[in-house]
Amino acid sequence: MFDVMSFGQFHRVEPVVRPSGTGGRLDDALAARVADPLFLLARQWQVAEFAGEDGGSPVWCTLSTESTPLGSFRPSADGTAVPLPKGVPLEFLAEAGAAPGEGARQLTLRAAARAGGRFLATLRTVNLPDGVLDDIDEAVLAKAPLPGPGSDPEQDPLRRDPAGRALREVLAGRAPDGAALAGHLADGWRPPGLTGPQRTAFDKAADLWLAWFREQYQPPVTSSWARERLEHRFAVTAAPGGRTVTLTAPEYTGGAADTYHFELDTGGGALPAPAGGTPVGVLPTRVTYPGMPAERWWEFEDATVNLPRIDAGVTDLARLLVVEFANVYGNDHWIVPVELATSALHRIASLTVVDTFEETTVIEPADDDHWSVFRLTDAATGAPAPPLLPLLPTASARLEGAPVEEVLFARDEMANLGFAIERIVQSATGRPRVRADEPPDDEPQVPPADPAALAYRLLTPVPPHWIPLVPVPLKEDSAAICLRRGQIPRFRADGTRLPQVKAAGRVLEPEVKRVFFRDEEVPRSGVTVSRVPVVARGEDGRIYQWVGRRVRAGRGEASSALAFDGAVPPKGS
């Protein structure tokens, strides 16, 4: 018997170089010399390398830019311009503005109670006696109580909001109305019977709370919402070269405020020549992208890219241009990185390029009256605007919640009306409330005494959250029309008229007496306007909260089944 022994063997492949006068080197093996130099010359002639005039590649750039800070923000076409705050997101200024006459944002019942409760908690931080605090609490609750149901149940704003009514019953007498309290404190109100030191402590707490309340709920500017157009309109200004120019956003529908939302209004005439700052040397970098053809002649292409498989017909001009760019000019594009400040308008004063042959070339702007890339549109002519690059103070890390209000604007061709359908409105609790779940308050139709007789109906019922949009002339003696927010009458069984059900959300603005919408803004496909809560962080790290509006496509036409003066057969016949 014997043990079988195993041995492991390892092999390594190494290049064997013939010894030379230096003792053997890899230079000759790695050189891959070609015996016939005419072969390489023929290959250069085949790829038209001898005819190239731009054989040099950029190796160094000298760049000079002019930066002009953005000066002011104008919330609407006829609004008052205000200085643009440093670090404040542009979306916050565009979407968080208040309507004319509003001193604070519209607060829900829950938000108003929380703000009032915060004031009562702030009073506990200024060293007031417990008995005095109890007296102040009673005085504050009496001065700024939460709104109650009122004497007429039909006029109760929460009569269709059961969750809001329950919350109101719980909070009644326990928390003051923060919005009303802010107005009283701003006017200098104090509870009666306080001594001098107690008044000083109360004023200190009031100042601390008012500063918080204004920062939290005070609108930054007036509203930029154009109700008739269902869009935001605002502008920012700058003065490059001492000449005031305006960046206007005529159709901003919410979300991220990108550069393409803006048009440039130079006021007519050419801008002054840019006064460049200190030239900066920059190392250029070649542009690359996934699927880019290989630059070297003998280099294999990426296995995931198959250019010969690209099919292009006679009309596929854009696809052919992309393929030609990738194969012919793909390696002719370079990136010149440069650091620029935000909240400013930039333009290039000079650009000098040094190539591999040590030739210096001054790059001029490529001007064309009919076609341009990465340029704004001139607001007056529609042509490409001067080469200005705006870096706007947009929000970073923006988060959006579920809509708290949603209105669908649709057309009903059978009724020859438009309808603003309030699908979701904000409850007094702050949460979304579906209006289709509201209990109906119409009295049922009284059937006729004769079971075989037809029941007369003046008009068919329409859900109360379907607000009609009635076509009216845009101007006197004009064929153009606009859509006016209307009302559908409601009647009891005996023919007496019921109180009118109004809009409940902020989009339709029920507090405004007459509301109009442009006819062309409500197409047959419809349009949806929603209000969503937004949280974003500014450049300075501060957190901003607001409720913004979003506009998107609708869901087509709608049918309300509205009909007048009809005879309805009895049920079961």
Segment 289-327, tens digit of pLDDT:
777 777 766 677 766 777 677 777 778 888 888 778 777
**pLDDT at residue 1 greater than cutoff 50:** no
Q: Give which of 255, 257, 499 is closest to 247, Cα–Cα.
A: 257
Task: Please compute the mean of the pLDDT values over residues 190-201 and round it to a whole number.
Answer: 92
57 and 354 Cβ atoms separated by less than 8 Å: no
**pLDDT at residue 155 greater than cutoff 80:** no
At 380, phi and psi to the nearest 5? -90, -40
Task: Please compute the mean of the pLDDT values over residues 220-239 and round it to a whole number.
Answer: 91
Share of the chain above pLDDT 70, in %: 86
**pLDDT at residue 458 greater than cutoff 80:** no
184 and 144 Cβ atoms separated by less than 8 Å: yes
**pLDDT at residue 499 greater than cutoff 70:** yes
In eight-state DSSP terms, residue 347 is E
Contacts of 526 (CB under 8 A, 6+ apart): 408, 409, 410, 411, 553, 554, 555, 556, 557, 558
Lowest mean pLDDT among 237-246, 319-328, 401-410, 515-524: 319-328
Given this model, what pLDDT does residue 436 score? Answer: 86
**pLDDT at residue 448 greater than cutoff 70:** no
User: Residue 196: which H helix or E strand, with range?
Assistant: helix 196-217
Lowest mean pLDDT among 231-235, 272-276, 396-400: 272-276
Across all residues in the chain, what is the average pLDDT?
A: 83
pLDDT confidence bin for 10, thresholds 50/70/90? low
**pLDDT at residue 7 greater than cutoff 60:** no
More confident residue, 352 or 563: 352
Distance CA 122, CA 104 (A): 20
* E strand intervals along 31-189: 58-69, 72-74, 82-83
Q: Give which of 431, 396, 405 is closest to 530, Cα–Cα.
A: 405
